[in-house]
Structure 1
Amino acid sequence: MARTIGSHGPKTMEAIRKAGLRLIFEHGYAAMSLRQLAAEVGIQSGSLYNHISTKQELLFDLVRDHINELLRQLDRALQGKQRPADKLRAFVAFHVTYHMTKKREVFIANSELRSLEPKNYEEIVALRGAYEQRLAAILTEGVAEGEFEVVDVQVATFAILALLTGLTTWYRPGGRLTKEAIVAAHEKLVLSSVAPTGTADRASQCAPSPRSGLARR
């Protein structure tokens, strides 16, 4: 690879982050070396230390920045939403859309959590907890206002997040369904799972034939 122009500027740091993200995703944190990273970027190994002090620092920064961006964008997506159902629909749409475009970041944030040193691990877990709490608060509000029926908010929070994040294991751009159809399918799954029993029954009776809904491409 051609040598990166300059070894101190923000462009080099961005190249290090992008290369690190790809190498950790493809080979795993433990297998990636700083020598390999430097070669990928096109700089001398020693020049890496102008930007990062350790491989652990790079991993921590990548995961922390990912979750902070997740929180920022979620809060933006929830702005102006009043009813719990509207907030939950917005949460689902945001989470699904974001995770369709950030496969590497999501994979690393989940699979390499174990590779973080204790202090870094605690900070990331706290940030993840803040994101989970956004969803838990929506569910709690919905239960209080009679819009949702949830046996246990914490269990429902973890179950919904597992469902929504699971698409990163099977989603491929250009597949049978459009992004909009995938979002709509997840919205229906989540909203129907927390709807009061009578409402869910009526909704299932009025649901359109499967052949008329998401069968695109």
Structure 2
Amino acid sequence: MARQTSRAKQPNRMRREETPLGFEPDPGADWRHFEELSLSPFLEAALEEFGAHGYHGGSVRAIANRVGVTLPTLYYHHGSKQDLLVTLLMGSMHDILVRCQHALDEAGERPEDQVANIVECFTLYMTHRRRLAFLDAEVRNLEPENRERYLSHRDELAVMLRRAALDGIEEGVFTTPYPVETVRAILSMCQAVAVWYRPEGPLSEAEVARRYIQIALDSMAFRRHGKKVTTP
């Protein structure tokens, strides 16, 4: 029988009360506003390490060194490198979904407003929380159970947008013949913002979001009274 490693013996302590994770609390109706994020030292160090070297290239020892603690201290708060990745990804996904639900609630009953708010919310997150959003590329390194849990949450965002798209088609305001593929393309387009956006560039976060709303509505072939509608 193979001997257990010290890592395998570590319990899951991702949410110890004495170590706040540092994710932003529910913004409520102010979903467009982003406070400066202050992750716990462990999560901040893990985010820096994964950002610099990837999940496989990053090491738990290097993360501990960034914080200035011993390995046992790090393992006391986070049972493994996998726990650090899961905590970062799930915290980020929870933030996106909470914000998008507020955006959807604010939109009212019109499908075009729902699509606009969801796209705006998702795009704003990609710009304001670029480092966390970029970590989505590491989903492939999640263990099967963790990956399934994360992807099930990520699918909730697709469901929000798909439902609005199908409602719009039923009401005749969207005329794309490929709503499912269009939703997938819009989400991929928004997610890619985290790769290229830089705050020192020519566009503000809000300007990127406004442009992506227009692109999304154009992709849905948004029509009202037989005319193509553009956002201001």
Per the normalisation by structure 2, the TM-score is 0.78
**Structure 2 counterpart of 1:142, which letter?**
G
Extract unaligned runs of 5+ from structure 1: 1-7, 208-212
Match of 2:49 in 1: 23
Decide which structure has greater helix share: 1
Aligned residue identity for 1:10:
T
Instruction: Find out whether 1:126 has 2:152 as its counterpart.
Output: yes
Q: CA deviation at 1:201?
A: 6.4
Equivalent in 139, 155, 168 of residue 194 of structure 2: 168
Q: Which runs of 5+ in 2 are unaligned?
A: 1-16, 22-38
Corresponding residue pairs, total: 198
Q: How far is the alpha carbon of 1:169 from its aligned partner? A: 2.1
Partner of 2:175: 149
Correspondence list, 1:102-141, <5 A: 102-109=129-136, 111-141=137-167
Structure 2 counterpart of 1:56, from 57, 62, 82: 82
Contact 2:51 2:131 in 1 (8 A): yes
Correspondent of 1:80 among 91, 98, 106: 106
The separation in 2 between residues aligned to 1:200 and 1:33, in whole angstroms, is 58
Which residue, 55, 60, 64 being the options, matches 1:38? 64
1:33 is matched by which residue type in structure 2? S
Q: Secondary structure at the match of 2:79?
A: coil
* 1: CA distance, partners of 2:50 / 2:217: 35
1:93 lines up with 2:102 in the alignment = no
When residues 104 and 131 of structure 1 are mapped into structure 2, their CA distance, relative to the original with a 3 A threshold, is same
SS in 1 for 2:55: coil
Deviation at 1:202, TM superposition (A): 4.6
Q: Deviation digits for residues 172-215 of structure 1, max 9, x if unmatched?
A: 113222333222211111112212578786558xx9xxxxx9xx
Runs ≥4 residues deviating over 2 A: 177-181, 195-204
Counterpart contact for 2:179–2:220, Cα < 8 Å: no
Which of 162, 179, 185 is 1:159 aligned to?
185
2-side partners of 1:112 and 1:73: how far apart? 22
Distance in 1 of aligned mates of 2:169 and 2:95: 28
Following the alignment from structure 1 to structure 2, what is the Cα–Cα distance between the partners of residues 33 and 192?
Answer: 44
TM-aligned CA distance change 1:154 to 1:189, over 3 Å: same
Q: Does 1:179 align with 2:208?
A: no
Q: Does the Cα contact within 8 Å between 2:128 and 2:205 map onto a contact in 1?
A: no
Distance 1:129 1:76 in 2: 17
Counterpart CA distance in 2 for 1:52 and 1:200 is 57
> Over residues 82-136 of structure 1, what are the superposed CA-to-partner deviations in whole Å (9 max), with x where a residue is unaligned?
2001111111111111110111211112x11111111111111111111111111
| CA distance 1:83–1:197, change in 2 (3 Å) | closer
Q: What do you get for the CA RMSD once the two structures are aligned?
A: 2.4
Q: Is the 8 A contact 1:192 1:200 kept in 2?
A: no
Equivalent residue for 1:5?
Answer: none
Task: Report if aligned partners of 2:174, 2:223 keep a CA contact under 8 Å in 1.
Answer: no
